Amino acid sequence: MSRALELAQQLAETHNLPDEGLLYLLDHREGTAAFLQEQAQAACQQWYGRQVFIRGLLEFTNFCKNNCYYCGIRKGNPEAQRYRLSQEQILACCQTGYELGFRTFVLQGGEDPWFTDERLCALVRAIKERWPDCAVTLSVGERSRESYRLLKEAGADRYLLRHETATPGHYARLHPPELSLARRLECLQDLKDLGYQVGAGFMVGSPYQTQEDLVRDLRFLKEFQPHMVGIGPFLSQKDTPFREFPNGSGELTLYLLSLIRLLLPKVLLPATTALGTLLPGGREMGILHGANVVMPNLSPQDAREKYTLYDNKLHSGAEAAESLGLLRQSLGKIGYEVAVTRGDSLGS
């Protein structure tokens, strides 16, 4: 048996590997991908069966005070068509989603100063009052610990904050000087301390990323033990400083989904829109590599078209919440079913 396969078996059995073992697997994917995919799918089914949890995604503002070099809604992009959804619009989207069977709403936006604690807390309270059996997930970036505390008290259940990369030097090459990895990790720890179900994650194939950077990402996830992990391929956007960089690899993203599932067997692991944008059938492939969450878009159609984190974003067909029937059909073909449930994490 090859060393790579021995390491893959060790990972499947112990749910851990030393850094050099993870690096060896990343460098020898060809001989281990099928085995790890099979083991990751089995590990996911052990805890969650063949259920896929759906989250209704609401991209409610594309204003952002930051200038991250990879992001199409960065403050310095004059081409972005800015918008904010009103509370009434957001609640109408939630109503549509609830009727479709969504029991988690994900409020995602840029770091928009207009959404003060008062406004955001009022929005969270309004959703929880109308749909008390639903979970509210926030994905609105770095805020103060006090802000996170107030939002938790208002009813927010979960918070997604990708760490982006666990290597400080790499983080500095992706972000302007006023943003730091240390601050990002402090926010993640605050969220966990306050009792949120917390999601971290990173881009695959972001500019200047090395295999060693990916190993640090995997080690960080193993040590931090988030409830959710969101990864997706880097996709370039034409109005950013990284417009000329090649997109990340779909194959490597799928392989990393399997690695993450085996490192964190109980984690909630989305098959992301970015993966579906890069690969035909990418979300279904993600499920077959250990993912168990999809996040169809509940935003109004014109907002979807303006939330341009990257180019050619998938926002029609099975990606649109109205086409949930298509999603059920495509998942049914691979032996999975959509769960009408909050879909809480079983671990961390």
Which residues are annotated binding-site positions?
A: 64, 68, 71, 139, 164, 184, 235
User: CB-based contacts of 158: which residues, under 8 Å, 6+ apart?
Assistant: 104, 135, 136, 137, 138, 196, 197, 198, 199, 227, 228
Amino acid at 49: G
Residues contributing to the annotated binding site for S-adenosyl-L-methionine: 164, 184
Question: Do residues 277 and 232 touch, judged by C-beta distance below 8 A?
Answer: no
Q: Which residues are annotated as a binding site for [4Fe-4S] cluster?
A: 64, 68, 71
Residues annotated within the binding site for (3R)-3-methyl-D-ornithine are: 139, 235
Q: Which one, of 105, 100, 101, 112, lies nearest residue 90 by Cα?
A: 105
Three-state secondary structure of 278-313:
HCCCHHHHHHHCCCCEECCECCCHHHHHHCCCCCCC
Contact 58, 296 (CB under 8 A): no
How many beta carbons lie within 10 A of that of residue 334, not counting itself?
Answer: 13
Which residue(s) pair with 53 in the sheet? 293, 339
